[in-house]
Amino acid sequence: MKDIKSGFILNTNYKTYYEIYGDISNEWNVPILIINGGPGVSHKYMKILVSLMHYIGPIIFYDQIGCGRSKSNTHISKFKLKDYVSQISNLLKHHNIKKCHLLGHSWGTILALEYYLKYKTKVLSIIFYSPCISIKLWQRQADEYVKIIKKKCKTCNLEDKYTKKHITDMNIATELIDTNSSIYEYLWGESEYNVSGYVKNYNKVAKLQTINVPTHYIGGKNDTASPKIIKFLSSKTPNSTYKIFNNSKHVAHMEETTEFFKNILLFFNYVYENEINKKYNIPLTKFLKNKKKDDTTLSIKLIVCTILNNTNKKLWNNNKLNLVLKDIISQIDVTKYNPKTLFDFQSVLDYWYYSKLFGYKNKYKPNDNIIKSFVTDKKIKNIRKSYDAVLMYIYIRSLVYCDPKKYKHFLKHIPLLKKKAQSNNIDYAYYLTHVILYDFKFGQSKTILDTSNQALKELYIFCKDNLIYNNPKNVDIMAEILLCCKLCNSYIFPYYSKLIRNIISKKTYTDYHENAVMVSSSLPFDNFKKFHKVFSDK
């Protein structure tokens, strides 16, 4: 596996062992710091999360003071919560990490909250997984569970029964959990259901209202961090979400791994969608009122208007984009249609296609001679270049929409064009994005066709195997894929947040088409309001 770094950071009283998976050199590859539970165990039982790095970004594991490979010669009683927070701070400073996501499990949620409260500007999001932010609530729930166990089984081994019912099947975790019992007893106490150690009076529920980053709570249905605790803590945290795993106890990532991973993936897609919405709130009126009046610029403006009219009604109305559209339409002059190349012909067809979507019927239709000079059965069959195959596919889709009776016969050539587009990975990706764009009529249609679903599956393969993310030239196709995901309401697309991270890491956009795609793909769609329902029970 590429991009793996491990080592030790020395401190006067201890050394910290860490492992970093993924590239942290890109400032928008914000790492997820995994703060494991216990206390007294190493990070190993959380290691299964490492496979998520391919989608959500770099992941950092570390062993807490005196645990695993983070050895200490100082007695555990000398350490306070602030030392554990300092350990995290030193780890991030050592690697010059200015921003991070926090994922704390169990006792690790205490450390996640404490770190956030001290270093708010350094945290982009938080996941509180099986949280014990109020030990009083935790203990109350544990007491209820113990009472039920004792009532049902008077001769049972209480610890074994509690572990099996509310922690996990030890066959799952035994090989991964190597507990330092002295640390566990000092910090936590006698057992999972009897918190008598250092943190026994910990309660920072009141501080949850100060959290102003995306926050997600996770718990198992039979967890000591029970559903009612999760819901209560979430209710105290502004704009937070939560998810209960119905077939899990205290380690949902081991008990419902697939669903857990899916939920984490969706949360980070949500986080980065919010980030790109904030970062690229490009002044639309300035963008759309660009003074250039060449055909390419006008057709691109028309495309952006079409997408925004269909996907963000509030933005459309607030910015009075109907007036912008009217101005664009007024600049179209049918008498000046004079395309010289196959590429030039796109603007001419765009005027007809998009104006017809807006109800102008055939007012801006090019004459038949212009169409015949670029699109005939013979010319389609003679296409050689992959890029030209993509253009011809676009033209066929436009013509079939504008005059289906006259041009529907061109659809028979699509398999041939698809095959020719496949000779170049990037061009074929553009072919696939346009399958989706035209299926949805650039947002006017809300029906997801089988062809769009298939195109999205192939775009996944492209993102997985062929897309070079750190190549600035690929920002345009990445933004188009993002746009297609949003049109398909597919916020679960596995590479969604990776696309965004690589898009927003580029500082400026000079190409007009690139800017147009950025405007279209970076602003929130109306369907984004339903996102919470996809990954949260809230």
CB 437 within 8 Å of CB 487: yes
Is 144 contained in some domain?
Answer: yes
Per-residue pLDDT of the chain (538 residues; tens, 9 = 90+): 457 899 999 988 899 999 999 999 888 889 999 999 989 999 999 999 999 999 999 999 999 999 999 998 888 888 899 999 999 999 999 999 999 999 999 999 999 999 999 999 999 999 999 999 999 999 999 999 888 888 888 778 888 888 888 988 877 666 556 778 899 999 999 888 899 999 999 999 999 999 999 999 999 999 999 999 999 999 999 989 999 999 999 999 999 999 999 999 999 999 999 999 887 665 566 666 667 777 788 888 899 899 999 999 988 898 888 988 898 899 888 888 888 999 989 999 999 999 999 999 999 999 999 999 999 999 999 999 999 999 999 999 999 999 999 999 999 999 999 999 999 999 999 999 999 999 999 999 999 999 999 999 999 999 999 999 988 889 999 999 999 999 999 999 999 999 999 988 775 556 677 778 888 888 888 888 778 778 888 7
pTM (predicted TM-score): 0.92
pLDDT of residue 175: 58
Is 317 contained in some domain?
Answer: no
How many CB atoms neighbour CB 535 within 10 A?
A: 22
* C-alpha 430, offset from chain centre: 22
**CA proximity to 135, closest of 104, 167, 118, 110:** 110
Which residue shows structure tokens 């997985």?
464
* Cα distance between residue 322 and residue 216, in whole Å: 38
* Cα distance between residue 216 and residue 475, in whole Å: 30
* Cα distance between residue 320 and residue 314, in whole Å: 10
* Cα distance between residue 533 and residue 526, in whole Å: 14
Pairing of strands 59-62, 100-105: unpaired
Tokens, residue 268: 């980070």
* Cα distance between residue 132 and residue 203, in whole Å: 9
Is 392 contained in some domain?
Answer: no
Residue 59's contacts (CB-CB under 8 Å, 6 or more residues apart) are 20, 21, 22, 31, 32, 34, 49, 50, 52, 53
* Cα distance between residue 443 and residue 460, in whole Å: 21
CB 265 within 8 Å of CB 492: yes
* CA-CA-CA-CA torsion sign (131, 132, 136, 141): positive
Distances (CA, A) of 518 to 311, 475, 503, 522: 14, 9, 9, 6
Is 120 contained in some domain?
Answer: yes
Residue 68's contacts (CB-CB under 8 Å, 6 or more residues apart) are 17, 41, 42, 43, 44, 178
Tokens, residue 202: 């910990």
**CA proximity to 40, closest of 108, 103, 112:** 108
pLDDT of residue 50: 95
Count, residues in the chain: 538
3 state DSSP class of 273:
helix
Q: b/e per residue, 406-438, with b = 16+ CB within 10 A?
A: ebeebeebbeebbebbeebebbbbbbbbbbbbb
Print the SS3 string covering 187-242.
Answer: HCEEECCEECCCCCCCECHHHHHHCCCCEEEEEECCCCCCHHHHHHHHHCCCCCEE
pLDDT of residue 286: 64
Distances (CA, A) of 45 to 96, 165, 174, 316, 331: 27, 19, 9, 49, 63
Tokens, residue 58: 């770099």
pLDDT of residue 49: 96
**Tell me, what amino acid is at 194?**
N
**CA proximity to 35, closest of 85, 129, 116, 108:** 108
Residue 397's φ and ψ, nearest 5 degrees, are -60, -40
Domain that holds residue 116: 4-276
Is 304 contained in some domain?
Answer: no
Is 478 contained in some domain?
Answer: no
Q: How many domains does the chain have?
A: 1
Residue 435's contacts (CB-CB under 8 Å, 6 or more residues apart) are 393, 451, 452, 455
User: Over the stretch 80-92, which tens digit does the pLDDT of each residue have?
Assistant: 999 999 999 999 9
Q: b/e per residue, 362-382, with b = 16+ CB within 10 A?
A: eebbbeeebbeebbeeeebee
Q: What's the alpha-carbon Rg for the chain, to the nearest Å?
A: 28
How many CB atoms neighbour CB 340 within 10 A?
A: 7
CB 9 within 8 Å of CB 18: yes
Q: How far apart are the first and last CA of the chain?
A: 37
| CATH number (domain holding residue 226) | 3.40.50.1820
Tokens, residue 71: 């050895």
